[in-house]
Amino acid sequence: MSSDLIFLEISQDLQSAKDDQRLYNPINFETRVRAIDFIDFHIINRIDIIHQNSTPNPDFTRIRRSAEELKEQLEAINRALFAHLRETIKSKKLYPSELNELLISHLDNAYNREADQPGYDYLDELINGILCESTLPEPTIVREPEMVFYQQTPARIIFKLAEMLQVDEVLYDLGSGLGHVPILINLLNGNKTVGVEFEPAYHRYAVGKATQLKLNDVLFINEDARKVDYTNGTVFYLYTPFEGNILQEVLDKLKQESFQKPIRIFTYGPCSFQLAKQSWLICSDTKVKDIYKLYEFRSYRDHRKFIEVTPKGRYF
């Protein structure tokens, strides 16, 4: 394709973006993020590649500058949206269900929060914009070999978890990282939540975020999950924060809790397979077979009332 045709194509793409009035309405977050990505990869990066292979063209330089200005304008709309949603959360004027629908309303109608698939989506970008406006912290301590590096739970999984909780349950997130699970569960459901995090920098960040949002029923503990007192916990969540012997030690500790009260454990990631092997837990699904699925496990005493008895009197 000739340079003139490429310039014409890029010019038309940029003009189409400028003329799309949906992009300037704060509610159209996903549409705007898609447009920002398009400007980045198909206009700015394309011009940069052209300039790497030839003498910079003033016309391309001009249109690149215009694309950067549009991108900044759209990103400014997003920053204002994030600030507005943070203030809405702090005001306590919305019920949890209303906040749920408010967040989802900024995504395309086709959004499916039930999808069991890898990776993150536009809901994560929205949540990250609200909760992570400051620089993310770097780890300060060395993990033990069986401690897994921090990965954020996809927001759609957190929303699904919120739907499966009762409002009087106390949720512990083991390996809570930057605090997204405890914070979002509290915002979406009103549950009291506790985040357990071994990394001090992550713990400080999460505490700061909960304080900023004025969330009095969200607590973060900077401690080894093997040493925490879980007396008041009824529901536990793990996104594979550790594996092997450490995971088994934590499960043995939770088993002791199950002797005093029924508990539920929700898992995401490879740790689900190890929980499926525990004789004192029963998975609500027939079988654990997908690391990208949220699984619910009930302590055996609690699960008995949810299952049938075979003619031989055995539970299954």
pLDDT at 307: 44
Q: What is the full per-residue pLDDT of the chain (316 aa) written as tens digits? A: 678 898 999 999 999 999 999 999 999 999 999 999 999 999 999 999 988 888 878 999 999 999 999 999 999 999 999 999 999 998 877 788 888 889 999 998 766 666 677 889 999 999 999 998 778 899 999 999 999 999 999 999 999 999 999 989 999 999 999 999 999 999 999 999 999 999 999 999 999 999 999 999 999 999 999 999 999 999 999 999 999 999 999 999 999 999 999 999 999 999 999 999 999 999 998 899 999 999 999 998 654 444 433 333 333 2
Which tokens hold the place of 103? 């967040």
Tell me, rounded to whole angstroms, the distance of Cα 208 from its chain centroid: 18
Is 275 found in the same domain as 136?
A: yes
Measured distance CA(279)–CA(271) in Å, rounded: 15
Is 159 found in the same domain as 41?
A: no
pLDDT at 315: 30
- In sequence order, the 6+-apart residues with CB closer than 8 A to the CB of 306 are 284, 298
In a domain, 267, yes or no: yes
Is 152 found in the same domain as 276?
A: yes
pLDDT at 148: 95
What domain range includes position 83?
3-93
DSSP state, residue 39: I
In a domain, 99, yes or no: no
In a domain, 176, yes or no: yes
